[in-house]
Structure formats: C-alpha cells, structure tokens
Structure 1
Amino acid sequence: MSLNTEGEKSLEFVLKSLFSGGVAGMCSKTTVAPLDRIKILLQAHSKHYKHLGVFAGLNEIVQRETFFALWKGNGAQMVRIFPYAATQFTTFEIYRKYLGTLLGNRTQIDKFLAGSGAGVTAVMLTYPLDTIRARLAFQVRGEHVYTGIFHTGASIFKEEGGLRALYRGFIPTICGMIPYAGLSFYSFAKLKFLCMTYAPNYLCNKCNRNTGGLVLTLPAKLLCGGFAGAVAQSISYPLDVTRRRMQLAMMNTDTHKFGSGMVATMKLIYLENGIVKGLYRGMSINYLRAIPMVAVSFSTYELMKQMFDLDTGMKL
C-alpha cells in the first residue's frame, strides 16, 4: 500500500470519526436538554427554582416560561457540542491507538488515559461556548440579560475581563474532566469487553465488519453507556458544581464571591451549603441526566462507527 493511499485512509478515518462523534454528541445533549437546564438552575441556586425538586422544577419552567423554554440554551449547546464531541471521540481513537502501542494491550490503562486526554483536548477547544450556554440557560423569562450566543460572548468579553472571563471555571472543569472522561471511556470499554467475553449470546450480534466478529446489541450499548456515565459522574460531580458557580458568578451581585478561584469557590460552597446541598446539589437530577446522556452518546457513536466501517482497526 502506498503512502498516499495510507494517508487518504487515515484522513477518511479521522473525518468519519469527527462526524460520528459530533452526531453522537448532538443526539445525546438534545435528549437531556431539559434536565440540563434544571440542573444548571438548581446548581447555581436560582431564586425562582432553588426551593423545587427536579420534576417540580421542570413543571415550573413550563408554567413560568413555556414548554420550549426547557431547551433554552440548547442552540449554543449544539454549536458547542458538535466540535466538542467530534474532537473527544476522534482524539480518543487516536490516543488509544498510540497508547495501546506504547503501553501494550495487556491492561485497560490506555483507555483511561486516552479518555482523559480526549476530554481535556475537547474542553480546551470549546470551553467558551460552554460558558455562553450556561449563561443563556440560567436566564429566566422577564429577566434576560443576554439576547443570543454572540451577544452573550461579546458582553462577557467586554465587561468581565476578556478571554479570561470566557474561561472562568476552566481549572475545575479540567480537574473534573480527567476522572470523568477517563472513567467514562474506560468503564464503557471494560463493560463492552465483559459483555462480548461472557455473554455474547445474549448481549451481542455477529458482524463480519468488526475485528472481533461481534457488536453489542442496542440495549447492551445503552446499559454499558448508562453505567459508565453513572460511575464517572459520581466521582467528578463536585467539580462540575464548582464550575457552574464560577461561570455564573457575575450574573448577580450576590454571587460575585463565587468567581474568585476553584479552591475558594469549593470552600465557600461547602461552608454555605455543605456537601449534600452544596457540592452535590442536583446530584439526583444528574443521574437522571447523565445515564441516558452517556448511554445515547456511546450508543450513537458505536452505531455510526459500524455504519462507516470504523471498527476495522484502521491504523493512523
């Protein structure tokens, strides 16, 4: 095989991986957008929703704002999530291949490291859009400060300190992303391996295109993805709360104190609200959100990989 042919196949692999990851991210985030919004409102103690539970909060959004307000901020989320998920899944495939060669395939540590590296890479490239999306989702009807994605980004940049303001909360995000992304990819890969090894007759279908000759059934994909999401979120959730408080700190004079730094913000959250109602505020909704989100994300990506013949062990 010529170098040109290998290069073309490698480029094709990357482009297909980018598209597959982007589609997977958009599907998963749109599925759980209403839960994402109420999670943000609860995490940051919105005065209109902080006294409510998950389902009461969702109902209040509909009553106060309209049904479609459940997806407020999802436009910015879609602008962010396609490049984020595309980058994350594609760099995972690339990092996994190189780390597998470097470390050997006798352990699963390469998948954890590849997942962590992929998560950090994706966050670095798309973080400002996450900040913008959080600001839009936190707004309540009748109290709007921002009118859209570009207005939000420009306002934050001009009024709050330039690019640094758009990256407020970045450090706890990275600290949380390393265990979250690492455990997500590791757990999914491990569960996939266990299903194929110990229950292939029940949880797998035969497929000639796959290097192992097997692919997970859709229910198995959802099960493995959901469990992977639950494990990862349990470990990293306090850092997710810290990130949100820092991102939204400048929207109200009473919350400016949460924008001073990761450690100071975590300490303040703990002192004011404790662990359950502070650092793990909204955790129940996060399980409701994270399990289907990760399940849909991994399942869609696996289906797209099979559709594009990406399970054939392409060398980069």
Structure 2
Amino acid sequence: MMGGLFYTGTRILDKSRTAVAPLERLKILLQVQNPHNIQYNGTIQGLKYIWRTEGLRGLFKGNGTNCARIVPNSAVKFFSYEQASSGILWLYRRQSGNEDAQLTPVLRLGAGACAGIIAMSATYPMDMVRGRITVQTANSPYQYRGMFHALSTVYRQEGFRALYKGWLPSVIGVVPYVGLNFSVYESLKDWLIKSRPFGLGEDQELGVVTRLACGAAAGTVGQTVAYPLDVIRRRMQMVGWKDASTIVRGQGGNSVEYTGMIDAFRKTVHSEGFGALYKGLVPNSVKVVPSIAIAFVSYEVVKDILGVEMRISD
C-alpha cells in the first residue's frame, strides 16, 4: 500500500513538473546563453522563440530526464528530512533537558539542509545531463539521445568527475534553498495554527489552499536567495562540452571556461554585470507557485492518507 501511495505522490510531482517544463527550460537557456549570442531576451519572447524554432516538443525538452530524476530525489529528500529532524530533535531535547522541546526554525534549517545535500548528491549526475539535454537545439553538433546516453557519453568523453561539475555551488545553495523551504513552510504553518487568523476556527485544520500558499511563499524565499548559485552551477555544467550549441559557445565557437566556482562568479560579474546572476529569475519565479507548492501539499496529503501523525517539525 505504501508503495502505491508513494507512486501516486510522485506521479503528482511529475505532473506539476511537466506543467511548468517550458518555463524551466527557458530559465536554463537564459542562465547559460552566451552574452555575445543573445537569442532569448525575456519570458514571453523566449517562449515564442522556442515555439517558432523548435515547436511544441522544444518547450518540453529535458522534461523526461527531470521527471525521472525527481522520483529518487524527492524520496531521498523527504526521508532524509524526517530522519534528520528526528535525530536533531532528540539531541536538542537531550541537551536542553526539556522533553517537550520542539525544533526551532534554525534547527529546521539544518535538517532541511542535510536532507537537500544528501538528495542532491545522490542524483546530481542526472541533473547535470538534464541541463545539457535542455540546452540542446536542432542545430547542436551532437545530440544526446536521452538521459542514459548522455550519462555514458559524458563519462566516456570527459570522465567521472565531469558528472559532478557545479556540485560545490549546488551544495552551498542547498542551505538557503532547501533549508529555507522547509523552515519557512513549517514556521508559516505553526503561525497559522497558533494565531488562527483569517477566521480559522479552533478545531479547523489548514486547508489545501492555505498549504499551497505556505509552500509557494517558502519556495519563493528559498529560490530567490539561492538563485545566483543556481546560475553558476548551470554554467559550470556546460564547461568542457565541445559539442555545445551556439547558445552556449557563441557565434565564434568559444565558450567561457571556469576553473572553479569563485572563478565562475568573478568572470560572470566582470563580463556581464551583477544582474547576470539573476538571469532567468522571472520564469523561475512564475513556476515556483505550482511546482514547489504542489510538492509540499502532495507530501502532506500522502502522509495523511498513510495515517502518519508525526508532523515534519516533530
């Protein structure tokens, strides 16, 4: 039964990802496009350009890999968060001597960060090749035929370490992104339950719309704070890709090479300005409401169906 419910929950997540796949692809294209070969200038123009040049399939390029990645990523993330929360709470109660103590927002941040790092590291090669598949166009010199073909090609041509390009900024970005997601989400829920605003009765539970709002707010805060690290991660993933399209390499055939995360930050800001660290933020912000919010609500609904009484913060 639990396996079936988890499958149902992950199918809901896949559908939410698919619904915002065009915005996700546009975000990555904006993040990595060569400043000397601008093809995407904004959300509306970018979506129209993809439709005109690549058709309907172009809007969903890379979505299959993203959906395949999200199942193990979500499973590891939420399981790790529950385990980390329980372990941190046990240590906190033992240290404070208060058996009724609850997790503070800071401790929730730590538990969320631990879960995010574990899940991200476990599935990072899938995310790396997803970025490359997403950036491919019909004019790319070489085509990855799918996730497994991309994984084997990168491994064969660039080595195992290439599958973890951009891993460091991803790890650093997990703290504000995943950590704040859980922390803000749970803190908002606690505030609503305790203060009972907007006419909430004493015995009323939070509805789906209220949970959606909490999830959307949490996702917006987390992704905005961590977004520059996401841009750097995507750019580092493109380094060494000799068959990249002109979107990455530019008309002259030369793409920017980075020796590491700090070098990537320095060269990006120096050549394109500080605003380059937020390229693609608009489509990313638009998609955060349905994708992150639905993920949290699906998680809560599945837990309710399973009869799990323990809340995340417990």
Give TM-score, length-normalised by structure 2.
0.85
Q: Structure 1 residues 24 and 116 mapped into 2: Cα distance closer, same or farther (>3 Å)? A: farther
Aligned to 1:58: 47
User: Matched residues in 2 for 1:188 and 1:62: separation?
Assistant: 35
Q: Structure 1 residues 74 and 119 mapped into 2: Cα distance closer, same or farther (>3 Å)? A: same
Matches within 5 A, 1:164-243: 164-199=161-196, 202=199, 215-243=205-233
Q: Does 1:303 align with 2:292?
A: no
Aligned to 2:262: 263
Give how far 1:312 is off: 4.3
Give how far 1:298 is off: 0.7
Q: Is the 2:73–2:122 Cα contact (8 Å) retained in structure 1?
A: yes
Aligned to 1:281: 279
User: Matched residues in 1 for 2:170 and 2:281: separation?
Assistant: 17
2:135 partner letter: F
User: Matched residues in 1 for 2:297 and 2:216: separation?
Assistant: 10
Aligned to 2:155: 157
Q: Is the 1:183–1:231 Cα contact (8 Å) retained in structure 2?
A: yes
Q: Does 1:87 align with 2:86?
A: no
Aligned to 2:120: 123
User: Matched residues in 2 for 1:236 and 1:66: separation?
Assistant: 32
Structure 1: 5+ residue stretches without partners: 1-11, 207-213
Aligned with 1:255: secondary structure? coil
Q: Is the 1:80–1:129 Cα contact (8 Å) retained in structure 2?
A: yes
Aligned with 2:145: secondary structure? coil
Give TM-score, length-normalised by structure 1.
0.85
Q: Which moved more, 1:65-74 or 1:238-247?
A: 65-74
Percent identity for Structure 1 against Structure 2: 33
1:218 partner letter: V
Instruction: Tell me: higher relative CO, structure 1 or 2? Use CA pairs within 8 A at least 6 residues apart.
Output: 2
Q: Structure 1 residues 201 and 269 mapped into 2: Cα distance closer, same or farther (>3 Å)? A: closer
User: Matched residues in 2 for 1:88 and 1:48: separation?
Assistant: 37
Give how far 1:141 is off: 2.1
Aligned to 2:17: 29
2:264 partner letter: T
Q: Does 1:112 align with 2:100?
A: no
Give how far 1:200 is off: 6.5
Aligned to 1:210: none
User: Matched residues in 1 for 2:114 and 2:77: separation?
Assistant: 9
Alignment RMSD (CA, Å):
2.6
Aligned to 2:95: none
Match of 1:292 among 290, 293, 308: 290
Match of 1:138 among 132, 135, 140: 135
Deviations along 1:217-239, whole A, 9 cap, x unmatched? 11111110110011111211110
Q: Is the 1:108–1:186 Cα contact (8 Å) retained in structure 2?
A: yes
Aligned to 1:211: none
Aligned with 1:215: secondary structure? coil
Q: Structure 1 residues 72 and 51 mapped into 2: Cα distance closer, same or farther (>3 Å)? A: closer
Q: Is the 1:20–1:305 Cα contact (8 Å) retained in structure 2?
A: no
Q: Structure 1 residues 286 and 30 mapped into 2: Cα distance closer, same or farther (>3 Å)? A: same
Give how far 1:136 is off: 0.6
Q: Structure 1 residues 82 and 231 mapped into 2: Cα distance closer, same or farther (>3 Å)? A: same
User: Matched residues in 2 for 1:151 and 1:106: separation?
Assistant: 44
Q: Is the 1:241–1:280 Cα contact (8 Å) retained in structure 2?
A: yes
1:305 partner letter: K
Q: Which moved more, 1:244-253 or 1:175-184?
A: 244-253
Q: Is the 2:65–2:130 Cα contact (8 Å) retained in structure 1?
A: yes
Q: Structure 1 residues 16 and 200 mapped into 2: Cα distance closer, same or farther (>3 Å)? A: farther
User: Matched residues in 2 for 1:163 and 1:262: separation?
Assistant: 19
Aligned with 2:205: secondary structure? strand
Q: Does 1:38 align with 2:26?
A: yes
Aligned with 1:311: secondary structure? coil
Give how far 1:145 is off: 2.5
Give how far 1:135 is off: 0.6
